[in-house]
Amino acid sequence: MNVNIMNVDYSTKIPNNVNLGEDRQVLKALEGWHPGYMNWWGDMGPVGFQQSLVYLRTAYSVDPRGWAKFDYVKMPEYRWGILLAPQEENRVIPFGEHYGEPAWQEVPGEHRAMLRRLIVIQGDTEPASVEQQRHLGKTAPSLYDLRNLFQVNVEEGRHLWAMVYLLQKYFGRDGREEADELLRRRSGDADSPRMLGAFNEATPDWLSFFMFTYFTDRDGKMQLHSLAQSGFDPLSRTCRFMLTEEAHHMFVGETGISRVVQRTCEAMRAAGISDPADVAKVRALGVIDLPTMQKKLNLHYSLSLDLFGSEVSTNAANAFNAGVKGRYHETQIKDDHRLENDTYPVLKLVDGKIKRVDEPALTALNMRLRDDYTQDCAKGLLRWNKIISTAGYDFKLALPNVAFHRAIGEFRDIHATPDGVLIDDTTWNKRKHEWLPSTDDGDFIASLMTPVTSPGEFAPWISPPKVGIDNKPGDFEYVKIET
């Protein structure tokens, strides 16, 4: 084991803590992939700002207490590296048929195809989100927010590198082919889309960006947690380090939405508005009304639920049995970690009603992870609702029922209201824009998206953050925009 595993070697073209300098074959494969990645970044990364100096953090260690250093960097010069969390000594496979056996340092032949597929699916989401967010730079509400967008973007790029390293090191020729395909697919492309639905949707404005980082990056968090439990140790270590970065992405979402809610409440109070549902009056103040935020939330939450797949899934059962993908916080769960005789309650459509039905726990793993996700999502809503109630308003943001607006799983063929009342097609078509953003809503939000580029200033629809990045003062120039 490498004793310097905590520190990152910056002497190679590709920074790493996996001894790439001595792994010539993999280093060569990665160096061969690098130009294609840079072309992709140029074509599909952030529009503009490529010559601007951005105050970014770069990982220099994988010690969770102090792993990042902050400095001005031009994005194309960001050092995308291969970083794995330290190897745990004597780690064993924490679940499934191989429970208690030593974790695998190489890919087990029998589970090779399944592992490759999971890595490719995870890998595909990383560049997809960069593509989805590429136009947002030109409408950023502040330099602080612009910097956060770019931080998220370069780290999603690094997450792609992380998956590509696994493919190239452990999967030979077909791994290299998959790595190339990851640069070929494009979010929203008719012929060659990204693999998962939510990653082909547009992220047209900054409220969508905050919702995306809150809800969709959080799906990523849940998936990474499950893969961090994997018996395939290099995957586990990779995901463990990615989670360190992912925390910031969700922070951007949670605080972003908090700041929008805060600003709207302040503006309503200042104007003496007592009914937050009086959309026209609130919009006239140049802030985003709470009902529209609820619609955006409904959209992003429901799209993100689809990422968990079907509630009942033999694929999920197989991945668990195989020791490839575990549960959220697997090692902290008090059971036999095999689930052979357990059941789990699954929401299903039974005789036209939404009911809980006990299913074998093994096939219900997607549902379980989705439930864990929903619980995690609810925490942000508590904070946002606290801001609203503290401002004196009787309005609550809420997660819609899981049957609402679904394209995958039990509820894909029916329509339901956010309260979970089943409705027919006609009613849905008549009422859907009470619950989901309409073109008008989108146009209104777009009308607010004018860029603010002076240090310390913020667009009028969002409050400043409570603290700066890296404890910088409020007027810090997070991005030196090249003119």
- Under the binding rule (CB under 5 A), the answer on residue 194 touching Fe ion is no
- Considering only residues 124, 178, 217, 289, which one is a binding residue for Fe ion as defined by CB under 5 A? 217
- Identity of the residue, 183 or 387, whose beta carbon is nearer to Fe ion in the bound complex: 183
Give the separation between CA 300 and CA 126, rounded to whole angstroms. Answer: 17
CB of 181 to Fe ion, least distance (A): 18
Q: Which stretch binds Fe ion (CB under 5 A): 4-12, 109-117, 241-249, 326-334?
A: 241-249
Residue 58, helix vs strand vs coil: strand
Q: Which stretch binds Fe ion (CB under 5 A): 159-167, 352-360, 410-418, 451-459?
A: 159-167
Q: Which residue from 303, 258, 288, 210 is spatially nearest to 446, judged by alpha carbons?
A: 288
Cβ pair 310, 204 in contact under 8 A: no
Give the separation between CA 256 and CA 206, rounded to whole angstroms. Answer: 9
CB of 249 to Fe ion, least distance (A): 4
- Under the binding rule (CB under 5 A), the answer on residue 178 touching Fe ion is no
- Considering only residues 134, 249, 263, 337, which one is a binding residue for Fe ion as defined by CB under 5 A? 249
Give the separation between CA 420 and CA 404, rounded to whole angstroms. Answer: 7
CB of 387 to Fe ion, least distance (A): 24
Q: Which stretch binds Fe ion (CB under 5 A): 9-17, 97-105, 201-209, 210-218?
A: 210-218
Give the separation between CA 217 and CA 445, rounded to whole angstroms. Answer: 22
- Identity of the residue, 111 or 249, whose beta carbon is nearer to Fe ion in the bound complex: 249
Q: Which stretch binds Fe ion (CB under 5 A): 112-120, 239-247, 344-352, 393-401?
A: 239-247
Size, binding site for Fe ion by CB under 5 A: 6
CB of 416 to Fe ion, least distance (A): 29
CB of 479 to Fe ion, least distance (A): 20
Cβ pair 348, 311 in contact under 8 A: yes
- Identity of the residue, 98 or 249, whose beta carbon is nearer to Fe ion in the bound complex: 249
CB of 270 to Fe ion, least distance (A): 35
How big, in percent rounded to 5, are the helix, strand and coil portions of the chain? Answer: 50, 10, 40
Give the separation between CA 149 and CA 251, rounded to whole angstroms. Answer: 12
Q: Which residue from 28, 198, 55, 35 is spatially nearest to 128, judged by alpha carbons?
A: 198
Give the separation between CA 225 and CA 325, rounded to whole angstroms. Answer: 9
Sequence-separated contacts (24+) of 276-284 with Cβ below 8 Å: 276/388, 276/393, 276/394, 276/395, 277/395, 283/444
- Identity of the residue, 64 or 102, whose beta carbon is nearer to Fe ion in the bound complex: 64
Distances (CA, A) of 234 to 70, 275, 324: 27, 54, 12
Q: Which stretch binds Fe ion (CB under 5 A): 166-174, 243-251, 365-373, 424-432?
A: 243-251
- Considering only residues 111, 159, 185, 194, which one is a binding residue for Fe ion as defined by CB under 5 A? 159
Q: Which residue from 367, 246, 259, 349 is spatially nearest to 313, judged by alpha carbons?
A: 367
Site string for Fe ion, 58-97 (x = CB under 5 A): ----------------------------------------
Residues making contact with Fe ion (CB under 5 A)? 126, 156, 159, 217, 246, 249
